[in-house]
Amino acid sequence: AQSVAQPEDQVNVAEGNPLTVKCTYSVSGNPYLFWYVQYPNRGLQFLLKYITGDNLVKGSYGFEAEFNKSQTSFHLKKPSALVSDSALYFCAVRVPQGGSEKLVFGKGTKLTVNP
């Protein structure tokens, strides 16, 4: 069974500092990996994805993520955090082998950027 773990329920960083939100996954097969962000009372917004190729992927709003196959991780990063980055972040995985299109999400990490 596929699963995603976000080991930190909450991450606090100061504005201007780098941020990292951690994600590890467990799948059989080669995964597609995603990061989404959810602001209060709003739906999930797509940030970035990894399918194949370069392990470092860049996405919206200056976010990037690094795929590490040996550590089965896909951590989200940003060099300089903004207060407006404060939100709930979800990592998700999809295993396309077998034709499934469902996303399996982690429980989410609440990011707070302090001014």
Partner 1 sequence: DTGVSQDPRHKITKRGQNVTFRCDPISEHNRLYWYRQTLGQGPEFLTYFQNEAQLEKSRLLSDRFSAERPKGSFSTLEIQRTEQGDSAMYLCASSTNRVEQYFGPGTRLTVT
Binding residues for partner 1, rule: CB under 8 A, are 4, 32, 34, 36, 41-46, 49, 51, 90, 92, 94, 99-108
Q: Would you say 22 and 77 are in contact if contact means Cβ atoms under 8 Å apart?
A: no
58 CB neighbour count, 10 Å cutoff: 11
C-alpha span between 37 and 35 (Å, rounded): 7
Min. distance of Cβ 34 from partner 1 in angstroms?
7
Nearer to partner 1, 14 or 51 (CB): 51
**Nearest CB to partner 1, comparing residues 54 and 70:** 54
Nearest distance from residue 16's CB to partner 1, in Å? 29
Q: Which is nearer to partner 1, 52 or 70 (CB)?
A: 52
Residue tagged 């100061």 (tokens)? 14
Can you tell me the distance from the alpha carbon of 103 to that of 34, in angstroms, rounded to the nearest whole number? Answer: 9
Q: How far is the CB of 11 from partner 1 (least distance, A)?
A: 16
- Residues linked to residue 34 through DSSP beta bridges, in sequence order: 49, 92
